[in-house]
Chain A
């Protein structure tokens, strides 16, 4: 009896490891989807900024993005390198697996 129970416990722990592996593989896939969507949203913001007047390129935070409920916020950080050049960083953040994930894009926008 005791031998069989030990065998079952061993088999169970083996199966648990296998299942954990499967769930890691499956969640890796959704990680990828969030990063890809966030990357596109960050890119969207950069293109909007490139299309706007130089003077209106400024730091800002959007606390949500319509149609993308998983996103926590999208933060634009602008610092002036010199009078005609701005350093622009866009960060999209979301929460996953209990922690905050983010993706950042950075570029310079010149007043030409």
Chain B
């Protein structure tokens, strides 16, 4: 009888209070972990979007910089005096234009009233008309240079071109800026 009682006391389980305290600790721990996890996921999401913007913008900058470095002598100008366009010739005698385009804009002019624009490259010699958005798409989701003061998108000033791209996707905005002095001026 005594032996059976001893066994009953030494192998006793947890009391209700102990179990509740441990469960409370566990719940707190999981709560904190869950909160941090959700915050991290959000940060991860925004990181992915920003990463995508960076990749695309770097590609576009590299493309524009390379093309302008290899352009023909003294061929740098704006296209038809329109702001945020760059016109140049290559050594094969072709004329190209980098320009901003949004299909909802009535015509290509110096007013950029839409919120987002594409950067495109038209081969004028082959008949690409910038006013109808012809040419190669280089970059999407550029914030309008009119809205994004002091961003200047594409600016020709003397022998220097400024690339100042502000891109917006969802709630993420990334800005990259550089300048290029074409080598054959």
Contacts and interface: CB of A to CB of B under 8 A. Distances in A.
Contacts of B80: none
8 contacts: A4-B14, A5-B25, A11-B29, A15-B33, A23-B40, A36-B176, A43-B179, A48-B181
Interface residues of A, number: 29
Nearest to A23: B40
Chain A contact residues, majority secondary structure: helix
Interface in B168-185: 174-181
Contact of A32 (B18, B29, B54, B179): B54
A12 B158 CA distance: 62
B36 to A, nearest CB: 5
Interface string B68-98: 0000000000000000000000000000000
Given A8-B22, A29-B51, A44 B178 contact: yes
B29 to A, nearest CB: 6
A79 to B, nearest CB: 22
Contacts of A50: 181
Interface of B: 14, 18, 21-22, 25-26, 29, 33, 36-37, 40, 43-44, 47, 50-51, 54, 58, 61, 150-151, 158-160, 162, 164, 174-181
B179 to A, nearest CB: 4
Nearest to B181: A51
B22 A5 contact: yes
Contacts of B47: 26, 29-30
Given A43-B179, A67-B151, 10 more contacts: A1-B18, A4-B18, A8-B25, A8-B29, A15-B29, A29-B50, A40-B177, A41-B177, A44-B179, A48-B181
